[in-house]
Amino acid sequence: MNVLLDNLSLFREGFIGTLELTGASALVAMVLGVIIAGFRVSPVPPLRIFGTLWVTLLRNTPLTLLFLVAFFVVPKVLFPDLDSFLLAVAACGFYTSAFVAEAVRSGINTVPLGQAEAARSIGMTFTQTMRLIVLPQATRTVVPPLSSIFIALTKNTAIAGAFNNVDLFNVSKTLSNDGYDIAVIFIWITLAYLIITYAINGLFRLLEHRLEVAR
Protein backbone atom coordinates (compact mmCIF):
# COMPACT_ATOMS: atom_id res chain seq x y z
CA MET A 1 0.00 0.00 0.00
CA ASN A 2 2.92 2.32 0.70
CA VAL A 3 3.97 2.13 -2.95
CA LEU A 4 0.64 3.66 -3.97
CA LEU A 5 0.34 6.21 -1.16
CA ASP A 6 3.93 7.42 -1.42
CA ASN A 7 3.63 7.89 -5.17
CA LEU A 8 -0.03 8.79 -5.54
CA SER A 9 0.61 11.84 -7.72
CA LEU A 10 2.80 9.78 -10.06
CA PHE A 11 0.17 7.05 -10.33
CA ARG A 12 -2.50 9.67 -10.99
CA GLU A 13 -0.39 11.26 -13.73
CA GLY A 14 0.21 7.87 -15.35
CA PHE A 15 -3.47 6.92 -15.10
CA ILE A 16 -4.55 10.17 -16.74
CA GLY A 17 -1.84 9.77 -19.38
CA THR A 18 -3.14 6.32 -20.29
CA LEU A 19 -6.69 7.66 -20.47
CA GLU A 20 -5.60 10.49 -22.76
CA LEU A 21 -3.65 8.15 -25.04
CA THR A 22 -6.54 5.70 -25.20
CA GLY A 23 -9.17 8.36 -25.83
CA ALA A 24 -7.24 10.22 -28.52
CA SER A 25 -6.15 7.01 -30.25
CA ALA A 26 -9.71 5.64 -30.15
CA LEU A 27 -11.00 8.82 -31.80
CA VAL A 28 -8.39 8.60 -34.58
CA ALA A 29 -9.07 4.88 -35.04
CA MET A 30 -12.83 5.37 -35.18
CA VAL A 31 -12.74 8.15 -37.75
CA LEU A 32 -10.17 6.43 -39.96
CA GLY A 33 -11.80 3.03 -39.49
CA VAL A 34 -15.20 4.22 -40.72
CA ILE A 35 -13.60 5.96 -43.71
CA ILE A 36 -11.53 2.89 -44.62
CA ALA A 37 -14.58 0.64 -44.22
CA GLY A 38 -16.40 2.93 -46.66
CA PHE A 39 -13.50 2.56 -49.07
CA ARG A 40 -13.65 -1.23 -48.69
CA VAL A 41 -17.27 -1.37 -49.89
CA SER A 42 -17.00 1.52 -52.34
CA PRO A 43 -18.00 1.03 -55.99
CA VAL A 44 -14.80 2.87 -56.98
CA PRO A 45 -12.00 0.30 -57.58
CA PRO A 46 -9.05 2.54 -56.54
CA LEU A 47 -10.74 3.22 -53.19
CA ARG A 48 -11.38 -0.49 -52.62
CA ILE A 49 -7.75 -1.26 -53.42
CA PHE A 50 -6.52 1.47 -51.04
CA GLY A 51 -8.80 0.22 -48.26
CA THR A 52 -7.66 -3.37 -48.74
CA LEU A 53 -3.99 -2.37 -48.71
CA TRP A 54 -4.50 -0.24 -45.57
CA VAL A 55 -6.15 -3.07 -43.64
CA THR A 56 -3.79 -5.78 -44.86
CA LEU A 57 -0.65 -3.76 -44.15
CA LEU A 58 -1.58 -2.48 -40.70
CA ARG A 59 -3.17 -5.69 -39.41
CA ASN A 60 -0.05 -7.64 -40.32
CA THR A 61 2.50 -5.14 -39.00
CA PRO A 62 3.63 -5.41 -35.35
CA LEU A 63 2.56 -2.38 -33.34
CA THR A 64 6.09 -1.99 -31.97
CA LEU A 65 7.37 -1.59 -35.54
CA LEU A 66 4.80 1.15 -36.16
CA PHE A 67 6.05 2.94 -33.05
CA LEU A 68 9.61 2.72 -34.33
CA VAL A 69 8.54 4.17 -37.67
CA ALA A 70 6.49 6.89 -35.97
CA PHE A 71 9.29 7.98 -33.64
CA PHE A 72 12.40 7.49 -35.76
CA VAL A 73 11.26 7.89 -39.37
CA VAL A 74 8.31 10.31 -39.39
CA PRO A 75 10.10 13.14 -37.49
CA LYS A 76 13.06 12.98 -39.88
CA VAL A 77 11.06 12.71 -43.11
CA LEU A 78 7.70 14.43 -42.60
CA PHE A 79 6.92 16.23 -39.34
CA PRO A 80 10.00 17.08 -37.26
CA ASP A 81 8.08 19.12 -34.66
CA LEU A 82 5.52 16.54 -33.52
CA ASP A 83 5.74 15.68 -29.83
CA SER A 84 5.82 12.15 -28.45
CA PHE A 85 2.13 12.15 -27.48
CA LEU A 86 0.94 12.88 -31.03
CA LEU A 87 3.33 10.31 -32.47
CA ALA A 88 2.06 7.67 -30.03
CA VAL A 89 -1.56 8.54 -30.86
CA ALA A 90 -0.79 8.24 -34.58
CA ALA A 91 0.85 4.82 -34.14
CA CYS A 92 -1.95 3.41 -31.95
CA GLY A 93 -4.73 5.11 -33.90
CA PHE A 94 -3.57 4.01 -37.33
CA TYR A 95 -2.95 0.45 -36.16
CA THR A 96 -6.35 0.14 -34.47
CA SER A 97 -8.15 1.76 -37.42
CA ALA A 98 -7.52 -1.38 -39.49
CA PHE A 99 -9.38 -3.51 -36.94
CA VAL A 100 -12.18 -0.94 -36.63
CA ALA A 101 -12.52 -0.89 -40.42
CA GLU A 102 -12.99 -4.65 -40.57
CA ALA A 103 -15.54 -4.58 -37.75
CA VAL A 104 -17.49 -1.79 -39.47
CA ARG A 105 -17.29 -3.57 -42.84
CA SER A 106 -18.68 -6.72 -41.25
CA GLY A 107 -21.54 -4.66 -39.82
CA ILE A 108 -22.21 -3.09 -43.21
CA ASN A 109 -22.45 -6.54 -44.78
CA THR A 110 -25.29 -7.46 -42.40
CA VAL A 111 -27.52 -4.73 -43.86
CA PRO A 112 -29.68 -6.15 -46.68
CA LEU A 113 -28.38 -5.12 -50.09
CA GLY A 114 -31.88 -4.18 -51.18
CA GLN A 115 -31.89 -1.18 -48.85
CA ALA A 116 -28.83 0.32 -50.51
CA GLU A 117 -30.29 -0.37 -53.93
CA ALA A 118 -33.56 1.30 -52.94
CA ALA A 119 -31.63 4.35 -51.72
CA ARG A 120 -29.75 4.61 -55.00
CA SER A 121 -33.00 4.22 -56.95
CA ILE A 122 -34.36 7.41 -55.41
CA GLY A 123 -31.22 9.35 -56.31
CA MET A 124 -29.15 9.12 -53.13
CA THR A 125 -25.38 9.14 -53.56
CA PHE A 126 -23.11 6.43 -52.16
CA THR A 127 -22.05 8.73 -49.29
CA GLN A 128 -25.66 9.60 -48.45
CA THR A 129 -26.66 5.93 -48.57
CA MET A 130 -23.85 4.97 -46.21
CA ARG A 131 -24.44 7.84 -43.80
CA LEU A 132 -28.24 7.77 -43.65
CA ILE A 133 -29.23 4.17 -44.40
CA VAL A 134 -26.45 1.64 -43.94
CA LEU A 135 -24.25 2.83 -41.07
CA PRO A 136 -27.12 3.53 -38.60
CA GLN A 137 -28.31 -0.06 -39.02
CA ALA A 138 -24.81 -1.54 -38.99
CA THR A 139 -24.05 0.16 -35.67
CA ARG A 140 -26.00 -2.45 -33.70
CA THR A 141 -23.82 -5.23 -35.06
CA VAL A 142 -20.57 -3.29 -34.77
CA VAL A 143 -20.79 -2.33 -31.08
CA PRO A 144 -19.75 -5.70 -29.51
CA PRO A 145 -16.52 -6.16 -31.52
CA LEU A 146 -15.60 -2.50 -31.05
CA SER A 147 -15.64 -3.07 -27.29
CA SER A 148 -12.95 -5.75 -27.61
CA ILE A 149 -10.95 -3.61 -30.05
CA PHE A 150 -10.83 -0.60 -27.73
CA ILE A 151 -9.99 -2.74 -24.70
CA ALA A 152 -7.06 -4.11 -26.71
CA LEU A 153 -6.15 -0.53 -27.64
CA THR A 154 -5.97 0.39 -23.94
CA LYS A 155 -3.41 -2.33 -23.33
CA ASN A 156 -1.52 -1.48 -26.53
CA THR A 157 -0.91 2.07 -25.31
CA ALA A 158 1.56 0.59 -22.81
CA ILE A 159 4.10 0.54 -25.63
CA ALA A 160 4.00 4.35 -25.62
CA GLY A 161 5.58 4.30 -22.15
CA ALA A 162 8.81 3.08 -23.71
CA PHE A 163 8.86 6.16 -25.97
CA ASN A 164 8.91 8.97 -23.38
CA ASN A 165 5.15 9.15 -22.84
CA VAL A 166 3.77 9.44 -19.32
CA ASP A 167 1.44 6.50 -18.82
CA LEU A 168 0.99 3.59 -16.43
CA PHE A 169 3.76 1.53 -17.98
CA ASN A 170 6.13 4.49 -17.72
CA VAL A 171 5.21 4.81 -14.04
CA SER A 172 6.14 1.17 -13.47
CA LYS A 173 9.57 1.78 -15.02
CA THR A 174 10.15 4.87 -12.88
CA LEU A 175 9.18 3.15 -9.62
CA SER A 176 11.21 0.06 -10.48
CA ASN A 177 14.28 2.25 -11.07
CA ASP A 178 13.62 3.88 -7.68
CA GLY A 179 13.98 0.47 -5.99
CA TYR A 180 10.35 -0.42 -5.23
CA ASP A 181 9.24 -4.05 -5.32
CA ILE A 182 8.35 -4.78 -8.96
CA ALA A 183 5.67 -7.33 -7.99
CA VAL A 184 3.79 -4.74 -5.89
CA ILE A 185 4.14 -2.15 -8.64
CA PHE A 186 2.62 -4.50 -11.20
CA ILE A 187 -0.31 -5.28 -8.90
CA TRP A 188 -1.29 -1.58 -8.73
CA ILE A 189 -0.63 -1.03 -12.45
CA THR A 190 -2.78 -4.06 -13.28
CA LEU A 191 -5.63 -2.76 -11.11
CA ALA A 192 -5.44 0.60 -12.88
CA TYR A 193 -5.70 -1.06 -16.30
CA LEU A 194 -8.60 -3.19 -15.05
CA ILE A 195 -10.48 -0.05 -13.99
CA ILE A 196 -10.09 1.43 -17.48
CA THR A 197 -10.98 -1.75 -19.37
CA TYR A 198 -14.00 -2.49 -17.19
CA ALA A 199 -15.20 1.07 -17.72
CA ILE A 200 -14.91 0.63 -21.49
CA ASN A 201 -16.71 -2.71 -21.31
CA GLY A 202 -19.50 -1.20 -19.20
CA LEU A 203 -19.90 1.74 -21.58
CA PHE A 204 -20.26 -0.50 -24.61
CA ARG A 205 -22.65 -2.83 -22.79
CA LEU A 206 -24.83 0.17 -21.99
CA LEU A 207 -24.66 1.31 -25.61
CA GLU A 208 -25.50 -2.18 -26.84
CA HIS A 209 -28.47 -2.36 -24.48
CA ARG A 210 -29.79 1.01 -25.67
CA LEU A 211 -29.49 -0.02 -29.30
CA GLU A 212 -31.31 -3.30 -28.62
CA VAL A 213 -34.19 -1.37 -27.03
CA ALA A 214 -34.31 0.90 -30.06
CA ARG A 215 -34.97 -1.96 -32.48
pLDDT tens string, the chain, 215 residues long: the values are 666 666 677 788 888 999 999 999 999 999 999 999 999 988 889 999 999 999 999 999 999 999 999 888 887 777 777 888 899 999 999 999 999 999 999 888 888 777 777 877 888 887 888 878 888 888 888 888 999 999 999 999 988 888 878 788 888 777 777 667 778 788 888 888 999 999 999 998 888 888 765 44
At position 181, the amino acid (one-letter code) is D
pTM: 0.87
Instruction: Please return the burial class of 86, using the count of CB atoms within 10 Å of its CB with bins 0-12, 13-18 and 19+.
Output: middle
pLDDT value for 7: 67
How far is 6 from 196, CA to CA, in rounded Å? 22
Distances in Å between the alpha carbon of 42 and those of 78, 118, 204? 30, 17, 28
Q: What is the pLDDT of residue 104?
A: 92
Question: Which residue in 27, 7, 29, 25 sits closest to 17, CA to CA?
Answer: 25
> How far is C-alpha 199 from the chain's CA centre?
15
- In 10 A of CB 147, how many CB atoms? 20
Kind and range of the H or E element at 89? helix 84-109
Residue 143 in contact with residue 207, Cβ under 8 Å? yes
